[in-house]
């Protein structure tokens, strides 16, 4: 499975986000090292794309969106690149 390199971001209001291939995922729940991320348009557009991480690694992804990808949001304050 082809996966773009994810970028771990922090929004201005302190939310953890992942930018991946033009889509943005927002951290929903964490359980220890595991985290579940929903597409940032989950509520607005009922997009059902989701990914799971273990530490800094993506262990599961359903990268199926019902909307077009968009350019980087200027509201994102801090960008830290994953190696």
- Residues that bind Zn ion in the complex, under the rule CB under 5 A: 39, 41, 47, 49, 65
In angstroms, give the least distance from the CB of 41 to Zn ion. 5
| 3-state class percentages of the chain: helix first, strand second, coil last, to nearest 5 | 5, 50, 45
CB nearer to Zn ion: pick between 25 and 83: 25
CB nearer to Zn ion: pick between 9 and 49: 49
In angstroms, give the least distance from the CB of 47 to Zn ion. 3
Contact 75, 5 (CB under 8 A): no
Contact 16, 28 (CB under 8 A): no
């Amino acid at each position: 499975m082809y996966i773009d390199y994810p970028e771990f971001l922090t929004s201005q209001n302190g939310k953890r986000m992942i930018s991946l291939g033009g889509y943005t995922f927002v951290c929903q729940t964490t359980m220890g090292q595991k985290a579940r991320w929903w597409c940032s348009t989950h509520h607005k557009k009922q997009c059902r794309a989701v990914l799971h991480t273990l530490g800094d690694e993506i262990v599961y992804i359903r990268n199926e969106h019902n909307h077009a990808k968009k350019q980087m949001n200027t509201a994102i304050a801090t960008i830290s690149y994953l190696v």
